[in-house]
Amino acid sequence: MLHLNVLQEAVQPEGNRNFKGLSDKISTVCRELEVPVVAKEVGNGISVDAAVRLQRAGVRAIDIAGKGGTSWSAVEAQRAKKQGQQADTAFADWGIPTEEALVNVRKALAEIPLIASGGIRSGVDIAKSIALGADIAAMGQPLLAVALESADQVIESLVGVIHELKVSMLCVGATNLAELRAAPLLRQTAGF
Ligand SMILES: Cc1cc2nc3c(=O)[nH]c(=O)nc-3n(C[C@H](O)[C@H](O)[C@H](O)COP(=O)(O)O)c2cc1C
């Protein structure tokens, strides 16, 4: 998994800002490695342009990791403040929202496996992600929070998430994830 965390590196005092020739380097990694390469953002969203270029470079799946959950630029600002440095909060809200990145990348690339992440907080969020075109979904912060308590709490939390996903599927009449993917999307209209 290659993390494309440009903003985080840019705002991190000790960040690695050498982004030169990155597309070619990603192509080389994809060609040389014997395992499939996945590319991911870390909470600022993969754009359509980036997704197309990543697929051309040989990436086999993309985690769109959009805005809406953990903001690493906000984390870096907090870290700087704790270290007595100036906290730059200008980029705390930067990025493509998760649902927007997901819908647009799926529209542009019909086949590539997509992971939805960035603000996924429940099985309902996972169900929505899959209906919007993701193949799977991922969570960062909520699992860290329970992992700090115990392994059992992580399991308990995931059992709850799976239950929420199953109930969501029941309510839309989807017996498997493929049917959930094909579930009709309704937009709330004025008057409801
Ligand atoms: C403390 C922390 C550490 C993380 N470390 C990794 C990691 O090592 N590898 C990875 O693929 N994702 C990691 N993530 C998850 C992604 O950065 C994730 O896309 C981002 O946090 C947004 O998702 P969230 O809102 O669910 O946290 C981490 C998340 C957190 C909160």
pLDDT at position 13: 83
Tens-digit pLDDT profile for residues 152-166: 999 999 999 999 999
Q: Is 145 in the pocket of ligand 1 (CB under 6 A)?
A: no
Query: What's the domain range around 164?
Result: 124-192
Question: Ligand 1 pocket check: which of 1, 42, 76 to mutate, most ligand atoms within 8 Å of Cβ?
Answer: 42
Distance 29 CA to ligand 1 centre (A): 22
pLDDT at position 189: 63
Same domain, 69 and 113: yes
pLDDT surpasses 60 at 192: no
Same domain, 51 and 143: no
Domain count of the fold of the chain = 2
Query: HEC states along the chain?
Result: CEECCHHHHHHCCCCCCCCCCHHHHHHHHHHHCCCCCEEECCCCCCCHHHHHHHHHHCCCEEECCCECCCCHHHHHHHHHHHCCCCCCCCCCCCCCEHHHHHHHHHHHCCCCCEEECCCCCCHHHHHHHHHCCCCEECCCHHHHHHHCCCHHHHHHHHHHHHHHHHHHHHHHCCCCHHHHHCCCCCCCCCCC
Specify the residue with its C-alpha closest to ligand 1, atom 16: 42
Same domain, 18 and 112: yes
Write down the mean pLDDT value for the chain.
Answer: 94
Distance 138 CA to ligand 1 centre (A): 9
Specify the residue with its C-alpha closest to ligand 1, atom 22: 118
Same domain, 106 and 140: no
Domain finish residue from 55, 85, 119: 119
Same domain, 28 and 108: yes
Same domain, 102 and 134: no
Question: Ligand 1 pocket check: which of 115, 122, 141, 161 to mutate, most ligand atoms within 8 Å of Cβ?
Answer: 141
In this prediction, residue 120 has a pLDDT band, given cuts at 50, 70 and 90, of very high
Domain finish residue from 81, 96, 119: 119
pLDDT surpasses 60 at 17: yes
Specify the residue with its C-alpha closest to ligand 1, atom 29: 140
Same domain, 21 and 114: yes
